Amino acid sequence: ISLSTGILVTKASKEADMSDALIKQLFSIPKVLYMVGGSMAFLGIVTPLNPIIFIAYGAAFIASGVMISNKLGVEQIENEVNEEEADAEEIRRPENVTSLLQVDPIELEFGYGIIPLADVNQGGDLLDRVVMIRRQIALELGCVVPIIRLRDNIQLNPNQYLIKIKGVPVSEGEILFDHYMAMNPGYVEEEITGIPTFEPSFHLPAIWINENQRERAETLGYTVVDPPSIIATHLTEVIRTHLDELLTRQDVQNLINNVKDANTTLVDELVPKLLSVGEIQKVLQNLLKEGISIRDLITIFETLADYAPTTRDTDVLTEYARQSLKRAISNKFFPQNEVTSVVTLDPKIEQDIMDSVKQTEQGAYLTLDPDASQSIINAVNEEITKLQNLGKSPIIITSPIVRMYFKKLTSDYFKDLVVISYNEIDSNVELQSVGMVSI
């Protein structure tokens, strides 16, 4: 019964007649014919059966097996030749270069010595860290980070890695595998031996130490980090720095769609009646460029809807948006229950800057005399140095009307300088002026 059921099931799955299928399967395999022919010849020799008939049939089966084997060999050779010709034709065919024109927004390339850190099979967790980076920045700055492409690059040194933004290298670093990076937070007096280096994210002096020194370094108070953490931190800071460049119109449209799900009236009023997607993109980029989170999109959109009827200057709209986000700005730059040391800007310099502002259809720009600009930069550098000597972050407070122009003036010289207007400071913030930028 089981054999019959198997035959019926097999038969039901075939389109040909059962007899044809059986003959095809039996006579398409040379090994089967050899076995049948040998068996029949053996029976003709060792049994009382008619030897002439059995040996003849046995020889016929063996001969058929030889013929089929030769035929299959020829077919295999022909197939290999056809495949080689197809491969050659594929090589001769003009390459579709369109696929090569795509540029990855973010790339992390590394030498072969770093591959184990990215290989899950070798215990590497770099891929998991990259996923956490995207999540962390989304929560912190309210922007979805594009997919980060990881690939090895044999042109790099074994322990070197390279970070690219839109196909262009923007930063690089080098690690020592099976070592740890130890950094003095500033209060550790006892030194440890190792290989001097610099932390790649913030260019702080550091030392490479081995596993045996790790426990002692941590006991002394050194900050000790492993190679995957070094790369992940460096990548995070690079993404933060260039996040405004990575925010595309499509990203902005996706953000608008998310807000529209629960705030249809707001979005319908704002886009496209008052502002285009491109103009909103510019405002959001301005905020991200100075490290301001755009996660509270409803507040930003409400502010834009309030002021867009009077101006479509994206720089001015950015200032209004910043003022509406003053609680978030204060929380980011001014720790609670602490007095923050800051520097103010001389009203005379503010007036000189405002007098040099020229308005055009494309926006406003500064026409400061080069000597005056350099004098201001020198004065800013002097006050920033004082703050840094006190162990404080460089923060300058200005009037609202001059903030964005002063920031543009100083941004190329002082990447980490924070410029905040009085209207962006929450009422519960305590400040202490330790200097004034003046010339």
Q: What is the CATH number of the domain that holds 392?
A: 3.40.50.12790
DSSP state letter for 99: G
Q: Which residue has the higher pLDDT, 58 or 389?
A: 389
Q: Any idea what the CATH number is for the domain that residue 276 is in?
A: 1.10.8.540
Residue 48 DSSP code: S
Could you tell me if 267 and 358 lie in one domain? no
Whether 236 and 142 share a structural domain: yes
Domain check: are 288 and 387 in the same one?
no
Two tokens at 130?
Answer: 């990259």
pTM of the model as a whole: 0.78
Peptide linkage before 272 cis (omega within 30 of 0)? yes
Would you say residue 337 has pLDDT above 70? yes
Task: Count how many domains the chain has.
Answer: 4
> 366 in a domain, yes or no?
yes
Residue 42 pLDDT: 74
**139 shares a domain with 83:** no
Q: Which residues of 382-407 are buried (b: 16+ CB within 10 A; e: fewer)?
A: ebbeebeeeebebbbbbbeebbbbbb
Mean pLDDT of 30-48: 74
Q: Are residues 116 and 235 in the same domain?
A: yes
225 and 254, same domain (yes or no): no
Average pLDDT over residues 224-243: 96
pLDDT, mean over the chain: 88
pLDDT value for 89: 67
- The DSSP result for 145-199, as a single string, is PPPEEEEE-TTS-TTEEEEEETTEEEEEEE--TT-EEEE--S---S---SEEEE-
Q: Would you place residue 16 in the very low, low, confident or very high pLDDT band (cuts 50, 70, 90)?
A: low
1 compared with 177, residue with greater pLDDT: 177
pLDDT at 3: 47
Q: How far is the C-alpha of 314 from the C-alpha of 215, rounded, in Å?
A: 53
- Taking alpha carbons only, the member of 129, 175, 171 closest to residue 148 is 129
Domain membership of residue 45 (yes or no) is: yes
Boundaries of domain holding 376: 338-437
- Percent of the chain with pLDDT strictly greater than 70: 88
Averaged pLDDT, 38-46: 74
CB 125 within 8 A of CB 228: yes
* 386 assigned to some structural domain: yes
Token look-up 């790339």 returns 107
pLDDT tens digits, 350-372: 999 999 999 887 778 888 999 99
Give the pLDDT band (50/70/90) at residue 246: very high
- Average pLDDT on 313-320 reads 96
My answer on whether 81 and 18 are in the same domain is yes
Provide the residue type at 143 as one letter: C
Q: Which residue has the tokens 């609670």?
A: 336
Span 315-329, mean pLDDT?
Answer: 97
| Domain-ending residue, one of 191, 222, 243 | 243
Is residue 424 over pLDDT 80? yes
Q: What is the pLDDT of residues 250-287, one digit of tens each?
A: 999 999 999 999 999 999 999 999 999 999 999 999 99
Q: Which two tokens stand for residue 332?
A: 């980011």
Task: Indicate whether 127 and 237 sit together in one domain.
Answer: yes
| pLDDT tens-digit readout, 160-193 | 999 999 999 999 999 998 899 999 988 888 999 9
